[in-house]
Amino acid sequence: MINASINNREEIAIALKEAVDKVNNFVKGLDAKEYEHAPEGKWNASQQVDHLIRSMKPLNLAYALPGFVLKLKFGVANRPSKTYGQLVEKYKTKLAAGGRATGQFIPEQTAFIERDKLIDKYNEETEKLVKKIKNYNEANLDKYILPHPLLGKLTLREMLFFTIHHNEHHLDLIKKYSSAV
């Protein structure tokens, strides 16, 4: 579990990389049956990782935009950023109320033979985002907002908190479903 007191961009970048590494390392250790297994109506490990990639790609685009574009397109925050713990609680509440991924965030399934390629792709997306985080102005993480399909408007900092926890959430699901083989 990630330290809930993370806050500054350096700590966020480290926590994100650690969370992604945990997912990738666990998935690397799965055999074909574990990797491809999921209960009816649930996602297997390949789909979980693909979903995480699909969730990170828009962030890489958004964090590459200049602040004035973010402001024009999405606006600015009218409140302080939530803490990591507050953001996690909000997400858990939305999930408990039936919140699910939709549209572009619905994953594809890949065969076991494609596992390493999928992991490499996730590492690439992560490295891009980590570099952008480290170069971002700390104050702007709390100034600009992005839309989240389930959580509504989030500051850039909150979106990073979500991304860290999102990895933990899906790792828990991968562990649960792969162990049921």
143-171: per-residue pLDDT in tens?
Answer: 999 999 999 999 999 999 999 999 999 99
The CATH classification number of 9-178 equals 1.20.120.450
- Residues with Cβ < 8 Å from 163, sequence gap 6 or more? 16, 55, 56, 59, 129
Q: What is the dihedral of CA 159, 44, 47, 36, to 10 degrees?
A: 150
Place of tokens 């390493």: 116
Output the CA torsion sign for 79, 83, 86, 90: positive
The mean per-residue pLDDT over the stretch 37-50 comes to 95
Measured in degrees and rounded to the nearest 5, phi and psi for residue 147 equal: -80, 135
Host H or E run for residue 35: helix 32-36
153 forms bridges with which residues in the sheet? 147
Q: Is the pTM of this model over 0.85?
A: yes
pLDDT recorded at residue 2: 58
In whole angstroms, give the CA distance from residue 181 to residue 179.
6
Average pLDDT value over all residues in the chain: 95
108-144: per-residue pLDDT in tens?
Answer: 989 999 999 999 999 999 999 999 999 889 999 999 9
In whole angstroms, give the CA distance from residue 108 to residue 105.
9
pLDDT recorded at residue 5: 78
Domain positions in the chain: 9-178
Q: Which amino acid is at 101?
A: A
154 forms bridges with which residues in the sheet? 146
